[in-house]
Amino acid sequence: MKIKLAEEVKHLTTEQLEELYERYISGEKNQELMEEYGIDAPPNKLVSLFPPVIHESLVCAYCALPLFYKRKSKTGSSYSMEYFCLECEHKEGHHYSRPLVCTCTPCSEKRAEAARAKRAADLEKIYQEYDLEKKVMLKYSDLSFRHKCYLLSLFLMQSESELNRIKPLNNSGSAVDLSPTDNFDNEIILKLHRDSVIAVDACSPFSAFDPSDDFKSFYYRDVFWVVNVSLDGSRRLSLEELFKLVYVELRDGIQLEWEEDLKALVFKLAEEEVAKYLGICLEQLQLPDAPKKTSEVIKEVLNEFSVSEIYYFIKKATENAHLFYAKRKSREPKACGKYNT
């Protein structure tokens, strides 16, 4: 295999080049050496003009030809070493303790194929973990009033009927909120999942699953959901079928056994509405977050006052707090700009 020489040293023989390198590596000045050997180039470029050295044992994994390595400079370190193929540009070696990442075409294709194989294996793990055939279906008769209200909200706000599934909380695309707060959104989804009313769709985005535990965990605000309800225990209802059953049942009026659930749900919605309004007022007036016990206070106040009345209390309280902070800040001593040494 013939090595192509740099134009600046083509006039030198192999023996002269080796002699020049020995003198260079021993510490002689670049400028003087280049003048002596008739090399027209900047002095700091000298080491790059020497032809590479063939390795005695390493061969290219693709071409079966010997690998080469560049000459070391007289000030170079041994922390990095690179071997390369003159034919296909394949590289091997290390940089400090890390192996070099070769970008030649065969290596790039090999990495791409490995990535495709791993992705396919990971997807298979996800499909196995969240296979609907392994899920025990919940009977429609076991759904509570709260389950049905939550489902109706999801059908109206989050449904993707053409694919028979419920969209992720983080990707609803709906102009209307599912519930007053994100916390309540989470509570709705988690309760339905915990009670086996809905199940994770294995065809959710790959990023919605956690690879750290073989995809047994998932990000519940990022996955798609499918209903996991059956009328007779043998066939899973479609999204549309379940929607019609729930809608017709709720449309026909409140049943006596739903009253306790209904009362609890109404109060829960009121708590979330008040909490959201409080957060908006605090943010608008740039006030600190409400203390943790605020939720308990809201529950107590709701026993005596309506949501609209509590809104008025919140508005006045936050405005007074804002005024208090503003007055206290105005009384704080201002820096005079004097500097003492």
For residue 25, what are the contacts with CB-CB under 8 A and spacing of at least 6? 72, 74
Q: Distance (Å, rounded) from C-alpha 319 to C-alpha 73?
A: 73
For residue 227, what are the contacts with CB-CB under 8 A and spacing of at least 6? 151, 166, 197, 198, 199, 236, 237, 238, 239, 242
Cross-strand bridge partners of residue 94: 81, 99
pTM above threshold 0.85? no
Is residue 242 within 8 Å of residue 229, measured between CB atoms? yes
Is residue 204 within 8 Å of residue 224, measured between CB atoms? yes
- Please report which residue ranges of the chain form alpha helices under DSSP H: 14-25, 30-36, 46-49, 105-129, 145-158, 182-194, 239-251, 259-284, 294-302, 307-331
CB neighbour class for 12 (10 Å; exposed up to 12, middle 13-18, buried from 19): middle
Tokens of residue 205, six digits? 């985005």
Question: Quick one: which of 81, 88, 93 has its CA closest to 65?
Answer: 88
Convert the pLDDT of each residue in 219-268 to its tens digit: 999 999 999 999 988 899 999 999 999 999 998 888 888 999 999 999 99
pLDDT exceeds 80 at position 138? yes
Three-state secondary structure call for residue 297? helix
Bigger pLDDT: 75 or 230? 230
CA 124, 125, 130, 136 torsion: positive or negative? positive
Work out the percent of the chain whose per-residue pLDDT is above 70: 94
8-state DSSP, 213: G
pLDDT exceeds 60 at position 329? yes
| Predicted local confidence at residue 339, as pLDDT | 40
pLDDT exceeds 70 at position 340? no
**What is the average pLDDT across 92-105?**
90
- Lowest-confidence segment of 141-145, 218-222, 317-321 by average pLDDT: 317-321
Bigger pLDDT: 324 or 104? 104
Q: Distance (Å, rounded) from C-alpha 123 to C-alpha 215?
A: 9
Bigger pLDDT: 334 or 273? 273
End-to-end, the C-alpha distance of the chain in Å comes to: 76
Question: Quick one: which of 181, 174, 209 has its CA closest to 280?
Answer: 181
